[in-house]
Structure 1
Amino acid sequence: MTAALPPALICDVVRVHDGDGPLWCRSGVKIRIAGVQAPDFERAAPCRRPAALRRAYVCDDRAARRSQQLVARLTLGQRLACQPVDRSYKRVVARCTLPDGRSLSCAAIAAGAAISWDRYWRRYGLGGCR
C-alpha cells in the first residue's frame, strides 16, 4: 500500500542535489521537481537516457553540475509553495511555485537546467509554461 501524499506544503530550500531534485526542505522533506528530467550525478556515465525523452539529452558530470547550479540559483534559500502529486524513491514529487509566482518546473526548463518529461508532465497536469 502506498503512503498517502502530504497536503500542500511550504519548502524552505536548504540544499539542491540535481537539476530535478531532490530539493531538501528545512522541514526534512525531499522534493523531486514534477515533470522534468535533468542530467544527474548518479547516471553521468554511461548515459542512460530514458526512452521517453526524444529530445537531445546530455548526461555527463559537467552537465549535471551545471544543471544543479542553475536550479540552486532558482531555489536555494527560497520559500516554495508545493503541491505533492506523487512519490518516488522516498521523495515527494511536487508541483512547486517560486516566490515570484513562476512554476519551478517551467523555470528549470527556461534556465536550461532540465527538459520536460512529457509522460509525467501530462500526468501531473503541469500545463503550459509562460
Structure 2
Amino acid sequence: MISLIFWAAAIVPAGQSFECTPIRVWDGDGPVWCAEGPHVRLSGIAAKEMNGTCSANQPCPDASAIEARDTLVRLVGRQTGTSVEGHVLVNGPTLTCQSVGGAGGSRTAAWCTSPTVGDLSCAMVQSGTALRWDRYWRDHRC
C-alpha cells in the first residue's frame, strides 16, 4: 500500500502562517514533508538536487546534495530512518512557517523557523551547503 503522504499536498496560500512538524526530508532546500500535510520548499535558497546537479537558472553551491540534505536533516531534528523512496525520515520540533505561495507541483514555498536553530533558510546559507537565491530572497533578513 502506498502511503497517503505521497498524494498531492495542498499548497498553503501566500501570506498564511502555518505549522510544520517535519517527518521527511528530500534534499537541502526541501521539500520537507509536514505531518500537518504541506510539502515545504524552503524559500530564498538553492541546493544541489539529489542527482548532484543544479538547474541552469539557479545558483549552484559547491557542497554536495548529500551534505546539504544531511545539514537540513540536522537542523530540523534527528534522522529516524530512510524510506524506500530515499527520503530521510526525521523527528523534530514543530516549525513555524510563512507561505510565499506555490513552488511547483504540490510544494509550498515558505520561510520556516525552528525553535532550536531559528530561520532555516538562513541556517542553510550559513552552513555553506545552500546558496542565497536573490530572485526569491528579496528583502528577507537573517
Q: What range is the shorter-chain TM-score in?
A: 0.7 to 0.9
Structure 1 residue 5 corresponds to structure 2 residue 25: no
Q: Tell me by how many angstroms 1:4 deviates.
A: 6.8
Give the match for residue 126 of structure 2.
110
Matches of 1:35 and 1:58, distance apart in 2: 17
What stretches of structure 1 of length at least 5 have no aligned partner?
A: none
Distance 1:94 1:126 in 2: 12
In structure 2, distance between residues paired with 1:4 and 1:28? 10
Does structure 2 conserve the Cα–Cα contact (< 8 Å) formed by 1:13 and 1:79?
Answer: yes
Residues in 2 aligned to 1:50 and 1:126: alpha-carbon distance in whole angstroms = 24
- 1:126 to 2:129 alignment: no
Specify the alignment match of 1:26 in structure 2: 35
Report which of the two has the higher share of helix: 1
Percent identity over the alignment?
34
The structure in which a higher percent of residues are strand is 2
Point out where structure 2 has 5 or more consecutive residues left out of the alignment: 1-10, 78-91
Runs of 4+ in structure 1 deviating by more than 2 angstroms, as ranges, are 47-53, 56-59
Deviation at 1:5, TM superposition (A): 0.5
Aligned length: 116
TM-score by length of 1: 0.78
Render the CA deviation track for 1:52-105: whole Å, top value 9, x for unaligned: 53xx6337xxx1111100000001312110000120121000011110362111
